[in-house]
Amino acid sequence: MSAYFAVVPAAGIGTRFGGNQAKQYAILDGQPVIAHSLQRLLDLDEISHIALVLAAHDEQAALVSAVQNARVSRVAGGAERMDSVLAGLLSLTQARDDDWVLVHDVARPLLRPNDVRELINACAQDDVGGLLAHDVRDTMKQSRANSVGLRVEATVPRAGLMHALTPQLFRYGLLRDALLAARADGVVVTDESAAIERLGHRPRLVLGARDNIKITYADDLALAAFYLSAQRAQGICS
């Protein structure tokens, strides 16, 4: 029977967030964002181990109680997200090629456990794997910069467009090989699905909740706090 592991890349500094600390250490409801994100994964008994990938100079993680959990190991990350994910994968020496790996953004603290279970169930018999996503609702514009700023280049039909979320779930061996191939080709991929797609595969899309937001800008914290309160009222989290 295949085992389930998780990799949480947390080596970035989040330049768009602003301030003098990485966004994963911003405070959400009295706890750093990283604590919420890790706890959501630790609440899933299906996951046997989590590789938390940190910047080499990170001294704050050791102060987070969830990081001290026996199911969490700390790994030094790389320059790009894909480098950090690969470092996390390679640290999972107990994982076999046919085991599953969930890769989850550290800046997504509102992950719903049922969404993860839906993803696991949907991919259980899939040859490739898949990711959580939700459909695009807004009108999409392609932009082009000129001397006076941004202009609309074209309106992009939104039919079939999806917002990629995390976790993204793939077989350990397939994801490792896909990331190694991208690195060997000098290609920087911004999510794991893109690495898998480069090998000619088509990952499964599983609908996820819209409150699984990624904290990118400082004002995202207020929205996250609102969603967290709503989740508690619904009994989704403690």
**Closest by alpha carbon to 164, among 136, 201, 197?**
136
Domain range for 165: 4-233
What's the number of domains the chain is made of? 1
With H, G, I as helix, E, B as strand and everything else as coil, classify residue 188: coil
On whether the CB atoms of residues 152 and 181 are closer than 8 A, the answer is no
Q: Residue 47 domain-assigned?
A: yes
Residue 156: C-alpha distances to residues 28, 128, 152, 165, 205 (Å) = 35, 28, 10, 20, 21
Q: Residue 30 domain-assigned?
A: yes
Residue 36, phi-psi category: left (phi > 0), alpha (psi -120 to 50), beta (remainder)? alpha
Q: Residue 51 domain-assigned?
A: yes
Domain with 182 in it: what CATH number?
3.90.550.10
Q: Residue 238 domain-assigned?
A: no
Q: Residue 11 domain-assigned?
A: yes
pTM across the whole model? 0.94
On whether the CB atoms of residues 131 and 176 are closer than 8 A, the answer is no
pLDDT at 237 (0 to 100): 85
pLDDT at 223 (0 to 100): 97
Q: Residue 185 domain-assigned?
A: yes
Structure tokens of 231?
A: 């989740």
Exposed / middle / buried, residue 34 (Cβ in 10 Å: 0-12, 13-18, 19+): buried
Distance, CA of 182 to CA of 238 (rounded, Å): 40
Half-sphere exposure of 66 (CA within 13 A, CB side): 21
Q: Residue 132 domain-assigned?
A: yes
With H, G, I as helix, E, B as strand and everything else as coil, classify residue 168: strand
Q: Residue 63 domain-assigned?
A: yes
**Per-residue pLDDT tens over the stretch 123-147:** 999 989 999 999 999 999 999 998 8
pLDDT at 147 (0 to 100): 83
Mean pLDDT for the stretch of residues 41-69:
96
Q: Which amino acid is at 156?
A: V
